[in-house]
Amino acid sequence: MEQHGGEEGLGDVLARLTDPATSTRRTEPARRRLATDPVTRALLEAGVLVLQRELGTLVPAEGPEVGSAGQDDDVEGARRPVRFFDLLSASRVCAAATAVGPLRVTTSHLRDRWAIQRDFVEDLLAHVLWRRHWDDLLEQRTRHLAPPSSAGELPAVAEALARAHLVTAGLPVSTRLELVATALASEHPVLRRQREAHYRAGAARWGQVWERCFERVGHRLRAGADLHRTSSALSAVAEGANLRLIAAGEPPELVEESVRVLVTAGMALARRSFEPDPGAGGGRTAAGPPEGRPLWPGPGTGDVSDVLVHLTDPVTGSRRTSAARHRLAHDVITRQLLHGGTGVLGQELGVVATGPSGRVSAAIAAQPRFFGLLSAAAVEAAGRCLPAGTPRPTAAQLRDRWRSQDDYVEDLLAYAAHRVRRVRWEVLGRIRAVALAPFADGGGGWQRLVASLEAAAAAVLADEDLEGHDRLRLLLVALSAARPAVAQRLCEQGAREERATGELVAELLALAGLQLRADVSAAELGRTLVALRDGVVLRALATGQQGDEEASAVPPFARATVEVVAGCLADPVG
């Protein structure tokens, strides 16, 4: 396993600060000294604090300024109103909607349908994150996928389903906004309920597909198997696999690795959940899908009028009936406003798409405005909340180090990614320590490995994300398309974690005296476990639930980890 000593220094992280074209210092030694200066670090920590406030993270309060008169907005525990969605101004949305066409859209059209901006924002988010977009895309991709006719066809079907579930290219705005919504969910109960419903619907569909597949080849659910939790675990792996693609920009080699991740997880969980049905005679059961029936359960359900719950005429109230709201929801202007709002979100997320349909308009391409909140004044104000003993940076000191705000933002995001990387590497160190403990006396075997995996899973979820590193990572991933340097760092971080996890898996298997199946490598299993972990953490942040809660939308991480590993072993275990 790699050692922490290979960590890069800030002189390598802060490219704009040390770049002769952007730095305010003329010599390389001076720029390098500036990168390690305490004031420089304080300016970066203050910028991270501004971002964390936007994510609803509790602000630490130390230092004499905090709690003083007139500082009510900076006291301990204060939560900041989220400004990401304030970027959806009526004028900006209508300009984007007009660019989409075919009609000219004005702010009057928007206000005629949504009384206040908050109502439009909530309906737009609900529409972009509508589960039906996922279901319709999956139905299109799997429409002609037939169920397996024999157990030997299961891997090929699993691969086709895996490719279909890598949805980041098909839903570029929705999948990135999903990460933003997850990062913000702790502050928004409506978002939490929507995310929970989304996860449950996805798991239910996976369960239906699995039952159809295995009934067709003469298998049944094992006694004691929990299909809901198993399906939730596979859905979490899919979310983790999509997360790595968003961060990396979908290069072909990573797409193929992600397909293998889903196939590895799906086949492993299937081996642990299903068994041959003696009553089926080794063939298809009467309950199996008829010939020609698609394997996937079909397109999504629901009508857009059910999603746009705030859509009405605020003056006359004449559109408050179900029929009138249905007509207005399907109106051309309403559709353009939704596409325009989605396009604005796409601008902020670095992808130019006007809706889940993938329609593109170059006319609405623009630089993201979200990072306007990182003004020199805002950073200086946040700096007053840094821990005691930390320099109190000023706006003048920020301008003295970076020629422009964009230079500062670029280095700040690189620093935030560096910070997240350091924390996650420390977590990996703790995981390694607890995972090796059960083998300390030289013993081996499956039960020792189970204890090791359970301890490792507990270490992952041991610390609640009070400091916001997981949420900060989600924000960085969501915005990475607009910041190639950050995307590269996130990609390197992910590859490093996957490599270290694969090495740890190989070491644990050797200590336990167990071997993997010939079609699964330790590296593939390591990537699969990282995807499972990321998906479980994402779900926990989005819903506020834990995997051990009754009827939770979050799969039990320890149990899912054990089942995935067990399903990948060469010899079946209990």
DSSP 26: S
Stated pTM of the model: 0.88
pLDDT tops 60 at residue 283? no
Q: Which carries the bigger pLDDT value, residue 392 or residue 547?
A: 392
% residues pLDDT > 70 (the chain): 85
Give the pLDDT confidence score for residue 65 in this predicted structure.
37
Instruction: Check whether 17 has a pLDDT greater than 70.
Output: yes
- Determine which helix (DSSP H) or strand (DSSP E) holds 398, and give its type and residue range: helix 395-401
Residues 6 or more apart in contact with residue 511 via CB below 8 angstroms = 436, 439, 444, 448
**pLDDT top residue among 361 and 407:** 407
Q: In Å, what is the CA distance from 162 to each residue of 96, 141, 157, 289?
A: 34, 11, 9, 20
The residue whose two tokens read 């980041």 is 168
User: Residue 3, exposed/middle/buried by CB under 10 A (0-12, 13-18, 19+)?
Assistant: exposed
Choice between 506 and 16, residue whose per-residue pLDDT is larger: 506
Crossing angle between the packed helical segments 484-512 and 405-436, to the nearest 10 degrees:
0
Q: What is the pLDDT of residue 308?
A: 92
Backbone angles phi and psi of 569, in degrees to 5: -80, 150
pLDDT at 313 over 70: no
How many Cα neighbours within 13 Å face the side chain of 233?
30
The closest alpha carbon to 52, from 148, 160, 172, 187, belongs to: 187
Which pLDDT score, from 0 to 100, does residue 546 have? 72
Residue 355: what pLDDT?
42
Q: What are phi and psi of 516, to 5 degrees?
A: -85, 160
Which pLDDT tens digit goes with each residue over 162-197? Answer: 999 999 989 999 999 999 888 887 767 788 888 888
* pLDDT of 132 above 60: yes
pLDDT score of 357 more than 80: no
Q: Give how far Cα 516 sits from Cα of 230, 288, 443, 574, Å.
A: 21, 32, 19, 15
When pLDDT is averaged across residues 215-224 and rounded to a whole number, the result is 90
For residue 406, which of 380, 367, 377 has the smallest C-alpha distance?
367
Check: CB of residue 132 under 8 Å from CB of residue 301. yes
**What is the mean pLDDT of the segment spanning 306-329?**
76
Average pLDDT, the chain: 84
Nearest residue to 6 via CA among 476, 527, 493: 493
**Partners of 274 in the β-ladder:** 221
Residue 297, pLDDT score: 82
> What's the pLDDT score for residue 25?
77
- The pLDDT value recorded for residue 211 is 86
Mean pLDDT of 308-329: 74
pLDDT for 361 beyond 50: no
The pLDDT, as a whole number, for residue 550 is 58
Reported as type and span, the H/E element at residue 215 is helix 189-216
pLDDT of residue 352: 62
Of 123-127, 310-314, 331-335, the range with the lowest mean pLDDT is 310-314
